[in-house]
Amino acid sequence: MDTSTFTHFCRAKQQHILEQLAPQGLILIPDSVDVEVERGRDVGYEIPSIDDLPWVERGVLTSDEEMTQVLIKVDMPSKRGDGPGKNLGECAVLACAVHRGMVAVVDDGDARGQAAQRNIPHVSTMWIIAQAHKTLDVVDSEGAEVIYDALLTTGMRLPGPNFIDHAYKVGLLP
């Protein structure tokens, strides 16, 4: 899982949704994403330490995953002035998905584009909210909107103007 999804769910006090939907009860946070999460904690965001969440595991990239991360990074669009660390977290998430047979959770459009080009299974925050609505008894339409609104209050950029209308429009909900 990439930084934005993890940190915004935590900051919105909605991390229980991630825990309930985690495949085999586990979410993997690559080490480069963990660095970004810790930076958020350092500036004062209310994000629990990965070590305090038994359903989250820190993943140290293997040498093969590091090579895949670099190859994806090379293909990621960049702008003049982007630092060398730009998109490393997203690339690590995609590399882990490739080598560990996992589903990448990424919201960044360029990362989703790389996933699609490389046939890497991937989902987004909006997909997670839709799954919560479809599979968790406690998340009806109103509950899905509560999650969506809570994420928006953290500054997360999500399509809108609300969850349910958008989810039906793009086919996340039948």
Cα–chain center distance at 131: 14
Q: Which residues pair with 30 in a beta bridge?
A: 59
R_g over Cα of the chain = 16
* Concatenated DSSP letters of 89-124: HHHHHHHHHHHHT--EE---HHHHHHHHHTT--EE-
Q: What is the per-residue pLDDT across 142-152, written as a single tens digit (0 to 9) for each?
A: 999 999 999 99
* Concatenated DSSP letters of 47-83: ---GGG-TTEEEEPPPHHHHHHHHHHHHHS---TT--
CA distances from 34 to 8, 78, 81 (A): 14, 22, 24
Question: For residue 107, with 0-12 CB atoms within 10 Å meaning exposed, 13-18 middle and 19 or more buried, which class applies?
Answer: buried
Other Cβ atoms less than 10 A from the Cβ of 27: the count is: 22
**Domains by residue range for the chain, with CATH:** 3-125 (3.40.50.1010), 126-170 (no CATH)
> Do 139 and 17 contact (CB within 8 A), yes or no?
yes
- For the entire predicted model, the pTM comes to 0.94
pLDDT of residue 85: 84
- Residue 24 pLDDT exceeds 90: no
Q: What is the per-residue pLDDT across 57-97, written as a single tens digit (0 to 9) for each?
A: 999 999 999 999 999 999 998 888 888 888 999 999 999 99
CA distance 148 to 12: 9
pLDDT of residue 88: 93
